Structure 1
Amino acid sequence: MAPAIMTLAADAPKLDSGNTAFLLLSAALVMVMTPGLAFFYGGMVRVKSALNMLMMSFISLGIITVLWTLYGFSFAFHSGNGFMGGTGWVGLRKIGMSAPWASTGVPILVFAMFQLMFAVITPALISGALADRVKFTAWSLFIALWATIVYFPVAHWVWAPDGWLAKRHVLDFAGGTAVHINAGAAALGVILVIGKRNGFKRDPMRPHNLPLVMLGCGLLWFGWFGFNAGSELTADGVAGIAFTNTQVATAAAMLGWLIYERLRHGSFTTLGAASGAVAGLVAITPACGSVSPLGALLLGLVAGVGCAAAVSLKYRFNYDDSLDVVGVHMVGGIIGSLAIGFLSTGTVYPGQAGVFYGGGWTQFGRQCLGVGAVLGYSLVCAVVLAKLIDITMGFRVTDDEEITGVDQILHAETAYDFAGVGGARSASDVSNSSEAGASSVKKVDA
């Protein structure tokens, strides 16, 4: 997120219709990413859990929007202390329609809606690690508590002008720490509490609908241009470089993942292509405004190979990250955030060049601070919250319910209705068929 400086009302710039339209469109693009994530995750699970995965993303649109309106935006972006914002914008009150956000010329309410979409998708990302085995009520309570205790403060740390990481010049253009490391660490924390799926490392748990995965990946890739370029908040050259780097890094990461997959497993898979693209999107997110296109190309290749290698760690360390949230989002976010310390050109952020551009190790140290602080805070909070929920109401469904399928148990629905397809026909159909058959026999006899 481009750093902003709050100005006095008397000095506030006039609203800029071009920037406002740009950010409204970017917010809409980011909103599309949550349904895209739902399809991406929904296709990756077994058929008996497909609807549940869709719902675990869609419910975030409801819960987080309400919390953001009540207090989330105020806690994240109102002036306060280094840890959390104040209460001046609780209920989205005291924000005039013509009040601009900093020097962007964009109304504060438009900025709030853009940031809301980030707040929505971040807890939804966690859901992929918990496929097949958690109660929908427990999940809903968890994301409400986690957003309040973790996401809103961390967004303030990283993006608010008075956030303690922002003051220490930790760079995160669009969410490598606040979104991806934050969500990935939380996913790891929860799965350490709730344990593995029945049949983990024993039963096949292949994706049930790869075309749905590819559709979801395409929607994510499309929406990510708003995610990254929109984080400049203004339609200018920096937004252009963020847009360019997003495309370049994603393409490179997809190729890197596929090459690794071919060398390691002997095949180029559609799941690998989709996963590699998402890994590239994750890695370029914090760095898209501070690296060159060639830097984005290198970063994408490293992220594609690095995340492809990381997803297999769950088998070595015996933790069940169902859809590789840790391996892609946490690891990809770490790669992208730390890469800034090497690849930052210092053009957009003067005095914050990386090692490869003569800036020394200062910026790398700052990036390590940001990565460590967010990862540690989110991991610990997620473990505590998941444990409390598990003790009080239970986080997991029962073994029998998991085997039956959480779609039927929790939602009383199934993703695909096969009634009448290859099944028994109605009594009238059978009767009519019998009469038709008898008639045919009579004709033949005649």
Structure 2
Amino acid sequence: MDQGNTAFLLIAAAFVLLMTPGLAFFYGGLVKAKSVVSMMMLSFGAMGLIGVLWVIYGYAIAFPGSEGTLFPWKIDTAAIGLTSLLETPEDAMYPPIAFAAFQATFAIITVALVSGAIADRAKFGAWMVFAGVWATLVYFPVASWVFNFGLADDGSFSYGGWTTYGLQEVFGLGVIDFAGGTAVHINAGAAALALALVLGKRVGFQKGAHVPHNPPFVLLGAGLLWFGWFGFNAGSELAADGTAAVAFLNTIAAPAAALLGWLVVEKLRNGKATSVGAASGAVAGLVAITPACASVTPMFAILLGVIAGAVCAVAVDLKFALGFDDSLDVVGIHLVGGLIGTLFLGFFANNTGLFTGGDGTQLLVQAIAAIAVLVYSFALAWIIGFVIEKTMGFRVKNEDEIAGIDTVVHGEEAYLFDQPARV
């Protein structure tokens, strides 16, 4: 066993887990002051629930150890509870349980991302039910479509999810999604759009009506997300090698360029470059480079970042034009950014992109995978959310939303400004 690669993988897993508290700060700063506890609890609730479900059966669904299919799911019954992963083969590069831990952090952050679309108006209990059902029916199977792969001795695919192995069998090329542009960002963004439609608009929803209560929280969260993203992208190589180094550098270049691209659009549109815009631009770039981090050169990573930052800066306003209330712009950043990064590979992926030696096949398979994940996630999320809303209720009362839901839902307040001073 390679102890260096094992250490690398475990450290990367810790980085990715830190992203969920970082997301809690990022989202928490964007909502109003009387909803920040509720918003952050949606992320922490996902950490608890999805972490447990992953160990019990999530890994067994996502990584069945054989060729993945759409339906029925192939479940590795020996991996239920991860007991079968406790022994490490002598020739393994890292313990299988380390890989399971790394992938657990992906499942957690993906579910937590969805919560941004329903800020200020969701019941915590209903969210937890949605998170568990959506993870089971959507994230775990989609992770198998994208991340479940195996290699034969000659380096060819011996089995895998349909977006990799299956599309390669048909078209000669499988989808390139190094760290989760489809499985994480398009998946979460599509579900977020569905939930935003199910729960409806916030009271008084209009442009400028809801402003971030704590931009320093937003910047702190974005910084933690960027830090953790190095584990997300470079760690997906599962080895401390040259590919991981390329992914690492591109995880600097793309979000840096996206930050600038967002600020330029913001300056031209509103006359001011904001701190929230800088944070949002960086996250948009991180989203876009996720599938592409190991498959483009650093210069193309910068190009991708500029495109993602500028386009996502415009896309976040689509909710006002189209009339859906995606509270914290999960659609505009994660769905749009994920689509940009995934499709960008069809044009500029090393050796197979349309402009880098390919013939358009890579673009075709990228589009097939992106559309399939988007449609599947949106449809299931809408059904799950609709059933929850019509049974136990998903949305809080309007009067509670107006007052701020921290006290009503959790019996806590983030800021006790009216407390008497102690002497």
**Shorter-normalised TM-score: what interval?**
over 0.9
The match for 2:69 is 82
CA deviation vs aligned residue, 1:192-246 (integer Å, no higher than 9, x gap) = 1110000101772111111111000000000000000000001100000000111
Which residue of structure 2 aligns with residue 165 of structure 1?
A: 163
The answer to whether the Cα contact below 8 Å between 1:64 and 1:120 also exists between their aligned partners in 2 is: yes
TM-score when scaled to structure 2?
Answer: 0.93
The answer to whether the Cα contact below 8 Å between 2:145 and 2:161 also exists between their aligned partners in 1 is yes
Looking at structure 2, the residues matched to 344 and 292 of structure 1 have their Cα atoms a distance apart, in angstroms, of 8
User: Deviations 1:391-437 (Å, cap 9, x if unpaired)?
Assistant: 1101101111111211000000000112335xxx89xx9xxxxxxxx
* SS class of match (2:415): coil
Q: Which residue of 1 aligns with 2:214?
A: 209
2:277 maps to 1:278: no
Counterpart code for 2:10: L
Q: Which residue of 2 aligns with 1:152?
A: 140
Query: How many percent of aligned residue pairs carry the same amino acid?
Result: 55
Report the counterpart of residue 347 of structure 2 in structure 1: 342
1:413 matches 2:403: no
Flag the 1:135–1:220 CA change in 2: closer, same or farther, 3 A: same
Q: Distance in 2 between matches of 1:224 and 1:203?
A: 30
1:27-426 correspondence runs (5 A): 27-80=13-66, 81-83=68-70, 84-86=73-75, 87-99=77-89, 105-161=93-149, 162-167=160-165, 168=167, 169-201=174-206, 204-346=209-351, 353-420=352-419
TM-score by length of 1: 0.88
Match of 2:156 in 1: none
Unmatched segments (≥5 aa) in structure 2: 150-159, 168-173
1:72-129 residue CA offsets vs partner (Å, 9 max, x unmatched): 00100122442334222011122233137xx860111000000000000001001111
In structure 2, C-alpha distance between the alignment counterparts of 1:71 and 1:387, rounded to whole Å: 25
Report the RMSD for the aligned CA atoms in angstroms.
Answer: 1.4
Tell me the distance in 2 between the aligned counterparts of 1:174 and 1:99.
25
Cα shift at 1:64: 0.3
- Would the aligned equivalents of 2:120 and 2:404 in 1 still touch at CA under 8 Å? yes
Give me the whole-angstrom Cα distance separating, in 1, the residues matched to 2:92 and 2:323: 48
Q: Which amino acid aligns with 1:252?
A: A
Match status 1:24 vs 2:23: no
**Matches of 1:420 and 1:367, distance apart in 2:** 55
- Structure 1 unpaired stretches of 5+: 1-14, 347-352, 430-446
Number of equivalent positions: 402
Conservation of the 8 A alpha-carbon contact between 1:65 and 1:120: yes
Distance in 2, Cα, partners of 1:116 & 1:405: 32
Give 1:160's aligned amino acid. N
Q: Aligned to 1:354, what secondary structure does the other structure show?
A: coil
Structure with bigger gyration radius: 1
2:189/2:330 contact within 8 Å kept: yes
Question: Would the alpha carbon gap of residues 395 and 36 (structure 1) be closer, same or farther in structure 2, given more than 3 Å must change?
Answer: same
Equivalent AA in structure 2 for residue 411 of structure 1: H
Q: Secondary structure at the match of 1:23?
A: helix
Runs of 4+ in 1 over 2 A off after TM superposition: none
Aligned partners of 1:221 and 1:281 also within 8 Å = yes
Q: Is the 8 A contact 2:207 2:320 kept in 1?
A: no
Equivalents in 2 of 1:191, 1:305: separation in Å? 24
Question: Is the Cα–Cα contact under 8 Å of residues 158 and 164 in structure 1 kept in the other structure?
Answer: yes
Q: Distance in 2 between matches of 1:256 and 1:398?
A: 39
In the alignment, the residues of structure 2 paired with residue 151 and residue 130 of structure 1 have an alpha-carbon distance, to the nearest angstrom, of 19
1:313 CA drift (Å): 0.4
Q: Distance in 1 between matches of 2:284 and 2:207?
A: 27
Q: What code does the residue aligned with 2:220 have?
A: L
Give the SS at the match of 2:24: helix
> What CA distance in whole angstroms lies between the structure 2 residues aligned with 1:202 and 1:303?
22
Whole-angstrom distance in 2 between the partners of 1:172 and 1:345: 13
Deviation per CA, 1:162-220: give whole Å up to 9, x if none: 21111111110001000000000000011111100001017721111111110000000
